[in-house]
Amino acid sequence: MKTDIRYRGDIDFLIRHFYLKLSNDVLLKTYFSGFDAEKKERFIKGVTDFWENIVLFTGDYNGNPMEVHSMLHQKQPMTELHFKHWNELFSQTLESFFDGPKVDIMKKEAQKISLIIQRKLLK
């Protein structure tokens, strides 16, 4: 039986599985390849901090998602298709491991944040 997101370890588990999936995805792998082990761990920690703050209200996130996505967009332009596909894979990964109100929050927040970043980058 699937459970809801309960603590940081759940989020870390989710993020690691999700970015493993992205690193093998035909459309998105370009953005997630070439990370050495140390950079990958910093990235995973940052994304985990981000989602932990949103879902568990920890206040531990100090990054700037817009800046990160802007740098990625400059290296390899993103389109609406990239954002749509990212959201589909994120929802699929969430639903394959977890179920509950916090999962719903993560899916809704991912959609909102994705739309904001998309609008700013693709204007």
DSSP state of 76: S
Tokens of 46: 């940052």
108 within some domain? yes
Matching residue, tokens 């995973």: 44
CB 15 within 8 A of CB 50: no
Question: pTM for the full model?
Answer: 0.92
Of the chain, the end-to-end C-alpha distance in Å amounts to 43
Total number of domains in the chain: 1
- For residue range 103-119, what is the model confidence (pLDDT) as tens digits? 999 999 999 999 999 99
36 within some domain? yes
61 within some domain? yes
- For residue range 30-43, what is the model confidence (pLDDT) as tens digits? 988 777 889 889 99
1 within some domain? no
Q: Is 99 exposed, middle or buried (0-12, 13-18, 19+ CB in 10 A)?
A: middle
Structural domain span for residue 79 = 8-121
Tokens of 49: 């901090």
- For residue range 18-65, what is the model confidence (pLDDT) as tens digits? 999 999 999 999 988 777 889 889 999 999 999 999 999 998 888 888
CB 107 within 8 A of CB 53: no
Q: Which domain CATH number covers 85? A: 1.10.490.10
